[in-house]
A and B are shown apart, each in its own frame.
Chain A
Amino acid sequence: MKIMKLISSLGIAGILLAIVMIPGYAQIPGIITAEVDRNSISTDEAILLTISIDASQGNPGPPTLPALEGFTVVSTSSGTQIMLVNGAMSVNATYEYWLRPVRAGTLVIEPVSVVLDGQLSQTQPISIQVTQGNGQPQALPAPNSPVMPAFPSLPGFPDIQSLFGDPFSQGGRQLRPLPNQALTSGEAPAGLNGQDFFVSAMIDKLDPYQGEQVLYTVRFYQAVELSQDIQYQGPSFTGFWHELLPEELEYMIEAGGRPYRVTEIQTVLYPSINGDLIIDPATLVIPGDFFSRGQILATETINVGVQPLPPNAPEGYQGAVGRYSLRAEADELQTKVNDTVTLYVLIEGQGNIQTLGDLPWQDLPGWRAFESQMKDEAQFLEGQMNVKKLYTRVLVPIEPGDYTLPVIEFSYFDPEIEAYQTLYSDPIAVHVQPDPNNTGEMAPVSASQTATDTSNDIPQLRPLKSAPGTWKLNSQNTTDQPLYWAMWALPVLIVAGQMSWEVWNKKKKADPARRRSKHAAANAYRRLDQIEKKDGNAAAEIPLILSNYMNEKLNLPISGLTHAELAATLQDHGGDQETITCLGELFMLIESGRFAPNSSSAAGSELLQETRTLIGRLEKSIHL
């Protein structure tokens, strides 16, 4: 009996343990199930309640939620899962709810129900243990969209997804928490205190001048994601020129403990009348779905007190308000009669481009003028509408002479300094030469005929050209070729070479003794060679050759010197003792050769060789 009691106690304990070990799961037979991702959390956390409905037999629609006491619904999402298994299709609808507890304790999610074909199906209650957190709510995890299973390919059939599209994209509005993004230090408006959506409007100037730029900004704050586009309906802006800027600015702020994505929609306004004007509310329509009804948010009405422009407007003022600059240029400053000169006038600055009308052109005697053409561009940068308007006017001189194109005037009101300003273009001087051919297509008119022509008189396109005899192929800029720049060095080299040659020549002429000294050995060798060739009397000729050599080498008269004097002279000019001794021995050989009765040619050759050797030694040792 005790054993039976023990077994039954263990069995009950095992069942209880199993219930505890399978967290938060309760299911009844039928078409609906409910589960939570955990059943023990703190007040800083949120749980995910997932309701699954088997919709294979029909779609019962969204489930009926209980009161969910003790919880707030942070976000919801839904999806449908379709599966084909062995030819049978099953459809499962999933609804997810992120719930955040508002107090500690045991909270119960009461049964969730759904009705299909008059039959009620409902889930079991789910208990959640909630402990007290530290007051810092944790961010929700990233949205976990139901995963669409891949459809099997069916031979002969188109892809199912291509036919029906992604079923999750058709589930109506899907509210998800905002993804984690960097928060900026943007200031939250006063009325924003934790709502899912909020909208505000403001202008940057409440008392602008008529025509002055006013920036109207609508800020849309959203704490949850939207899968459908919101619809923005701007005010009517009665009494304003207005231009909606195409770019929207987005950033994140935090308000009331919730992160908000802020979308700014800006409209540039220019008051066209003065007085008290009212900007109607802007509206934003948030489309509803089967989870919630749609919302319409509206901004506050804004009152604007538009100041009139001062009465002392300059003559020709056309209503421009802002800040501008003016520049005028002509494409030709020297031209011929009947040639065209294009005058460009560029006005750029900040203001309403619609108020930049045509310029007050003045006629210029001796010229024909064609209707001006205008092109403009506008770009919104750093809170200002930057505009640029180019006026192009084609002018044709009909009389030669020197002209100054009329100064262009442009006036505007500068709201910053609260005064009118007038800009003047620089005068442009144009010299017109007579047309040598006088065959222009535009017949010259008299100087008095200066009325502005109409578009019927637009200059005609000049005729085609026939092919030239030769034409250029693949012409490259000469300056791109390294050879071109190398050629710049050629004249420098030639002139420098010539100058060097002149300097050398001059130097040579300026010091004949040095030149003779330099060539003394060469002269001596040449004469020795001649003696050898002619088989001359070497003993008789060599003293003369040596004498001439030393004369030239030392630039001194050698003849008449004794051997001792000659030795001293050589020593004075760097001759070493050995060379001087050799010279003495050579002279002795010559003397003996001269007075020998039958001196042979072999002896002469030896004498010549000795002389060459001696001259070589003298060349190395002595100097001028």
Chain B
Amino acid sequence: MRIKRILISFSIGLLLLVALLAIISLAEEKSAADQQAVHAANQLYETRNYGAAIMVYEELITQGVDDAAVFYNLGNAYYQSGELGRAVLNLQRAALLEPRDPDIKANLALARAESGAIGIPTAAGPIHSLANLTRSWLNLNETALLALGAWFVLAFTIFTARLTKRGVLRNLFQYLALFILLLVIASSLSLGARLYSDHNLPSGVVVAPIVTVSSSPKGETLTKMQLFGGTEVNLMEMQGDWAHMSLPGKSVEGWIPVESVEPLRTPSPGSTVNF
């Protein structure tokens, strides 16, 4: 009877593990990296041929590569070639994928400071503070998987505890379940805060050296202000060749040409850009 219980518990645990791995594999489609292409692009960079290096990195991204190292290198190449808006854009993309990487953080801070773009991306409030607890060391996918993983482990622990006869072992499982429940609550709250907070984070970066913000996407426009390359903005909608944007905090909004801004999320190959 005892062996039967252990087998049931093991089977259920295995099932949960397989489900979790399926989710992870869905989230991250991987392939063998094209070492040769990156090496060649890095060589071009080292020989100060930044334009050619940019072309190689951009081509990799066009092919669907969504890797922090490529965005980081591309951001560096744009920085060196003086395109600070695109440097901030790609370093920010890298930071979203690898928030713990100190090189990415350092270079992003440098590019932001150099561009002098206005705007403070850090939002205030308890929800944003909660979101910021994990933002600097976990990306959104990792936060989501942490919460779901903790939830699976909690279920497995409860399941095993119920199958275990009363005694020290069962008490141990119950205490363990209590601890994991706290982890589930913390990770779920953090995930919820991240999802809420990320909606208020800038969703695009101005890539033109300087862009004039107009009051309307039509002819009778009124110049409202000018933004420098690297300014992080919220993109709201697109009308023809114009993008409706606001600065973080939503205090100022207006229209800028679509070609002067790029979304932080890279579009899939062949798809169109949607805000």
Contacts and interface: CB of A to CB of B under 8 A. Distances in A.
Interface of A: 246-247, 327, 329, 331-332, 334, 336, 339-340, 342, 344, 346, 373-379, 388, 390, 392, 394, 458-459, 461-479, 481, 483-484, 487-488, 490-492, 494-495, 498-499, 502
Nearest to A465: B69
Contacts of A499: 162
B118 A390 contact: yes
Contact of B106 (A339, A374, A494, A498): A339
Given A339-B105, A476-B27, A392 B42 contact: no
Contacts of A377: 118, 225-227
Interface string B19-43: 1100100111111111101110010
Contacts of B152: 490-491
Contacts of A479: 140-141, 144, 191, 195
B224 A464 contact: no
B184 to A, nearest CB: 10
A478 B21 CA distance: 13
A148 to B, nearest CB: 25
B29 A473 contact: yes
Nearest to A374: B116
Given A344-B120, A464-B76, A471-B65, A491 B151 contact: yes
Contact of A474 (B33, B64, B69, B112): B64
Interface in B132-162: 136, 140-141, 144-145, 148, 151-152, 154-156, 158-159, 162
A491 B154 contact: yes
Contacts of A472: 28-30, 65-67, 97
Contacts of A502: 162
Contacts of B243: none
Given A344-B120, A479-B144, A494-B159, A373 B29 contact: no
A458 B114 CA distance: 10
A333 B222 CA distance: 40
Determine the main DSSP class of B at the interface with A.
Answer: helix
A268 to B, nearest CB: 15
A477 B118 contact: no
B102 A483 contact: no
B79 interface: yes
A346 B120 contact: yes
B155 A495 contact: yes
A467 B155 contact: no
A388 B120 CA distance: 12
Contacts of B120: 327, 329, 344, 346, 390
Contacts of B34: 467
Contacts of A458: 110
Given A332-B136, A483-B26, A471 B31 contact: yes
Contacts of A492: 155
A90 B152 CA distance: 94
30 contacts: A327-B120, A331-B109, A332-B105, A334-B136, A340-B106, A342-B112, A346-B120, A375-B228, A376-B118, A378-B225, A379-B252, A390-B118, A390-B120, A461-B76, A462-B76, A464-B76, A465-B69, A465-B73, A465-B103, A467-B37, A468-B67, A472-B30, A475-B27, A478-B26, A478-B141, A479-B191, A479-B195, A484-B148, A487-B19, A488-B148
B151 A470 contact: no
Interface residues of B, number: 76
B269 interface: yes
B12 interface: yes
Contacts of A390: 118-120
Interface in B31-66: 31-35, 37-39, 42, 45-46, 64-66
B16 A490 contact: yes
Interface of A is mostly: mixed
Given A379-B224, A461-B79, A470 B32 contact: yes
A44 B62 CA distance: 73
A262 B158 CA distance: 79
Contacts of B226: 377
A490 B28 CA distance: 21
A468 B268 CA distance: 21
B70 A464 contact: no
B159 A495 contact: yes
A331 B120 CA distance: 9
Contact of B110 (A375, A459, A491, A498): A459
A519 B107 CA distance: 76
A306 to B, nearest CB: 29
B72 interface: yes
Given A340-B109, A475-B28, A478-B145, 14 more contacts: A327-B120, A390-B119, A394-B113, A458-B110, A459-B110, A463-B103, A473-B31, A473-B65, A473-B66, A477-B141, A478-B140, A491-B154, A492-B155, A494-B155
A466 B116 contact: no
| Pairs of residues from A and B, 8 with the lowest C-beta to C-beta distance, nearest first | A491-B155, A467-B38, A471-B67, A465-B69, A478-B27, A462-B103, A375-B116, A467-B33
A426 to B, nearest CB: 11
Which of B28, B37, B191 has the most C-beta atoms of chain A within 10 angstroms of its own C-beta?
Answer: B28
Contacts of A373: 113, 116
Nearest to B8: A498
Contacts of A469: 32-33
B148 A474 contact: no
B122 interface: yes
B118 A388 contact: yes
B256 interface: no
Interface string B202-222: 000000000000000000001
A342 B122 CA distance: 12
A477 B199 CA distance: 13
A492 B252 CA distance: 46
Nearest to B73: A464
Contacts of A246: 223
A45 B151 CA distance: 87
B117 interface: yes
Contacts of A329: 120, 122
Contacts of B141: 475, 477-479
Contacts of A476: 27
Given A475-B28, A491-B154, A470 B45 contact: no
Nearest to A342: B109
A331 B113 contact: no
A488 B144 CA distance: 11
Contact of A466 (B69, B118, B145, B155): B69
A484 to B, nearest CB: 6
Given A475-B28, A494-B16, A375 B79 contact: no
